[in-house]
Structure 1
Amino acid sequence: MVTILDGKAVSEKRLELLKEAIGESGLYPRLATVIVGGDPASQMYVRMKHRACERVGIGSVGIEIPGDATTQKVLETITRLNEDADINGILVQLPLPKQIDTDRIISAVRTEKDVDGFHPTSLGLLMSGKPRFAPCTPKGIMTLLEEYKIPVAGARAVVAGRSIDVGRPMAALLTNADATVTICHSKTRDLPAELKRADILVSAIGKAHFITPEMVKPGAVVIDVGINQLDGKLVGDVDFAAVKDSASAITPVPGGVGPMTIATLMENTFAAAATRMP
């Protein structure tokens, strides 16, 4: 019988534990979010992050910048937050408008405040096996696997997608946990065959119901990172109804990976505050 990997339940547990830890620490962590433009999805995600902050005892500051802003304008905001001793974590909501140099913005965030884990130094530390802050979605997935006691060491893991925010850091975390990892992408030859070799399959390609039963090894653990709209409904990359009977464990969309991402952001922000303790 398939196990539904309930990210919402696990995140609730993690947030309650974090609230206790923050209360006992005597610290008051603070997170600053920066959003450029009025994209409704980005605004919704930022609101969810602020609600989580309020729940666990993390102060939050929301900065909204007009959508026609220049890269320099955003950099000035990042510099101000870098220099603000009361701010422990900085999150720049992606994607940024096309005229903004995203790489420059990400690289401008001080590494000790890079709770999203996207700075080149943060990613380099992750690749070296000594992460400071790992990106929240991949790290949240590792937490979910751990909570359900799914063995990673020795497993054949396949990651579909090579983005810098999910695919590549996901592969690094799985490698650091002693899995044998393959990254697949748009140029992969015979993609279905590669996917079907996976004991642990992580899909982060952004195509609704792309993963079908014939791409999934019987008994595989299937992690669906996709957030897509299909016929007015929120669905993942995996055809959940069709695949779940083949898998040993699977994440739903919504309620799987998404809540773990936010819980991990809260944990990273607390960790950033804790590292500044005298």
Structure 2
Amino acid sequence: MAVRARRTRRYGWQRQQCRRRPQRRGPQRRRGRQRRPGGNGGLLFGHGGVGGLGGNGGDATGATNSSSVAGIGGQAGNGGNGGHSGWIYGDGGAGGNSGDGGSFVAGSGILAGASGGSFGAIGGTGGDSGLFGNGGPGGNGGLGGAGQAATGDFTTAGQGGGGGFGGNGGNGGFLYGNGGTGGGGGNGADGGDNSGATLSFNGGGGFGGFGGWGGQSGLIGSGVTAVPAATAATAATAATTAVTPVRARLAASAATPSCGATAAPVPTAATPAIPET
């Protein structure tokens, strides 16, 4: 037992007998609350959460006075990104779909044109997987806002908004897993019709959004196409550009003569060997 002095606020200095405690050396670690990012899977195992849906853009009101332009429609929100999976196993979460662009209401006065619809938002990116698992699919791009017609004379109808870009698919697991499918691009909206007014023009249609890139696969697995719904032309092009083995390509190149090459000589019978004297 050791005797040491202790000072208290109420009684001042006091002597007390206490058992000697070993002193801790080195920096002390304070334990507090540990915040983990939301949407992700567990540290080792677990699937990532799905990204949220983006909100739609609000519609603008029309301009009824002369020489005025209708208001601008609200921009849609982007889709949330999918959460990443666990470090060892789990599938990445799907990216959220984006909202649609707001439309422009027509202007009814003279020289009161209606502007085009706003662009669709970008789809969320699919979450990446860990060592084993599939990447999450990317969210779809939003639709472009419609361009409304302007009923007044000397006006131009609104142009359709462009479609949003599809989100990229998540990457597959490092060792095994397929890449996520890229989200499809949103469709562009049609332009407004203003053919009934005097010296007026119709609005052009919006462009379609690009599809997202497919995620990369792991060491064992297959990647996916960038756009979920591939056309027949795209499928035919992919079939013609498919990777062939090296021996097959060498045999095909030897069978088909190149530009400016002459035909291969016809093989003749082998000449008899000259006997040695």
Task: Identify the TM-score tier after normalising by the shorter chain.
Answer: under 0.3
Q: Which TM-score applies when normalising by structure 2?
A: 0.23
Q: Which TM-score applies when normalising by structure 1?
A: 0.23
Relative to total residues, which structure has the larger strand share, 1 or 2? 1
